[in-house]
Amino acid sequence: MANSGTLADVLSGQRYQKTVLIICIVVLFFIEIAVFVAALNSSGKKSRVIVYDKNGYKVFETDGTTLSTYEKVVFENNFGPLSNYHIKIETEKIPFPFRAWLAAAVGIPIGLVLIIAFIIKAYLALLYGGGEGENDSGARSRGALGSFLSQATKVSVFPLGLAILVLVLLMWMVPNFVGEFAKLSVKTIKEFKWFFLGVSVFLGALICWVIYLRYKLSKQAIENEKDIEKYRLEIKLLEEKKDKQLLLE
């Protein structure tokens, strides 16, 4: 019967270990370079050519500082002569997308590793099936490295990798969501400023009224405490007078 194979069996030889390690390092290195170059290209000074009509409405937009011959032909075929429109070049400086770069630099390699690990585990499980007892005895015979690889294959990396991916996505998506929500809130407040001003005045007046009522209640409680203490002293004085009268009699 054919011997059962696992990922630890494949990597037990020094030649395979070095080959796999070098391939992984090179692939990850190129992935990180590609991610950094993509993030770098999306930042910096970006120019756009915008074409407006006589009423000031935007009818056409393209990246760059000039319209190419093809773009001019397409524009004139759709909107008429370009001389009837106003051309404006807008330039803006886009900062380096640090959060997007960090999310991609961490998430893409981890996602690839999880996908490859899942494919390898599924392949070995379908081809060889289970053979944990034989793997344990083989790992002991291969020494410390084989034992380490055998134990490592028993630990599921999928929950940990999934948790890291979720954290990376949250780190990228939550600030964007907060920023968009803040912009939408400011826009809504500006559009309905009188409504929000009225609500703010009403809430402010309500808070002041509650504070005033609490002040009145506290003042009334202090006065009631003062009256009670006063009556207590009067009763005590009356009792002392009665005691003195009894002593004199």
**Hey, is 11 helix, strand or coil?**
coil
Q: What pLDDT band is residue 108 in, cutting at 50, 70 and 90?
A: confident
181 and 82 in a single domain? The answer is: no
Per-residue b or e along 184-204, where b marks 16 or more CB atoms closer than 10 Å to that residue's CB: eeeeeeeeeeeeeeeeeeeee
- CA pair distance 146, 8, nearest whole angstrom: 7
DSSP structural state of residue 50: E
1: in domain: no
Q: Are residues 112 and 182 in the same domain?
A: yes
The structure tokens listed for 166 are 């979720």
Same-domain status, 75 and 105: no
Identify whether residues 88 and 103 lie together within a single domain.
no
Coil, strand or helix at 3:
coil
Q: Which structural domain range is residue 70 located in?
A: 45-94
Q: Are residues 28 and 69 in the same domain?
A: no
Which residue type does 127 have? L
Of 64, 79, 94, the residue at which a domain comes to its end is 94
Residue 52 domain flag? yes
Contacts for 170-177: CB closer than 8 Å, 24+ residues apart: 171/99, 171/102, 171/103, 172/99, 172/100, 172/102, 172/103, 175/99
Residue 2 lies in a domain: no
- As a whole number of angstroms, the distance between CA 184 and CA 178 comes to 10
Asked if 41 and 94 count as a contact pair (C-beta separation under 8 A), the reply is no
31 and 115 inside one domain:
yes
Indicate if 161 and 109 belong to the same structural domain: yes
In a domain, 127, yes or no: yes
In a domain, 210, yes or no: yes
Q: Is residue 226 part of a domain?
A: yes
Domain count across the chain: 3
Judgement on whether residues 87 and 119 belong to the same structural domain of the protein: no
- Residues 49 and 34 reside in one and the same domain: no
Are 177 and 237 found together in one domain? Answer: no
Rounded Cα distance, 74 and 52, in Å: 16
Confidence at residue 206, expressed as pLDDT on a 0 to 100 scale = 92
pLDDT tens per residue across span 184-207: 888 888 888 888 888 889 999 999
Q: How far is CA 25 from CA 9, 22, 30, in A?
A: 21, 5, 9
The verdict on 32 and 149 lying in the same domain is yes
DSSP-H helix ranges across 93-192: 98-128, 132-142, 144-154, 158-191
Whether 245 and 174 share a structural domain = no
Q: Tell me the pLDDT band of 5, cut-offs 50, 70 and 90.
A: very low
Q: Which residue has the higher pLDDT, 144 or 228?
A: 228
Residues 216-229 have pLDDT tens digits of: 898 888 888 888 88
pLDDT band at 25 (very low <50, low <70, confident <90, very high): confident
Mean pLDDT of the residues in the chain? 76
C-beta of residue 187 within 8 angstroms of C-beta of residue 125: no
Reduced to 3 states, what is the DSSP secondary structure of residue 60? strand
